[in-house]
Amino acid sequence: MNLQAIETIVRRLFSDAAFRAEAIADPATALAEYRLAADERKALTKLCVQMAGNGSPAGGATQLGGWW
C-alpha cells in the first residue's frame, strides 16, 4: 500500500481545483501519474465519483458520505 501517494492525492483533490476537476471528469487520467495498486485506484476513483455527486467545494470542505 502506497500511503504517501494516497495522502498526496487526497490532499491535492481538496487543494488543487484544476486537479479536482480533472479527477472528477476522468479519474483514470488524473490518477495515471501515480503508482497505485488496483484496490487503491478503485478507492480513489470512488472518492472522485463521490466528489462529482456533491459538486465542487464552494469555499469549504466537501461533505462525503460513507466510507470510500
Q: Which of 50, 38, 36 is nearest to 6 (CA)?
A: 36
3-state secondary structure 23-67: HHHCHHHHHCCCCCCHHHHHHHHHHHHHHHHHCCCCCCCCCCCCC
Note whether residue 63 is domain-resident: no
pLDDT of 62: 47
Position 18 in a domain: yes
18-65 residue pLDDT tens: 999 999 999 999 999 999 999 999 999 999 888 888 644 444 444 545
Q: Does a structural domain hold residue 42?
A: yes
> What does the alpha-carbon distance between residue 13 and residue 45 come to, in Å, rounded to a whole number?
11
Q: What pLDDT is stored for residue 37 in this prediction?
A: 94
Does a structural domain hold residue 66? Answer: no
Does 23 map to a domain? Answer: yes
Q: Are 13 and 47 in contact (CB under 8 A)?
A: yes
pLDDT at 54: 61
Mean pLDDT of 13-19: 93
Q: What pLDDT, on a 0 to 100 scale, did the predictor assign at position 53?
A: 82
pTM score > 0.85 for this model? no
What total of structural domains would you count in the chain? Answer: 1
- Residue 50's domain spans which residues? 3-54
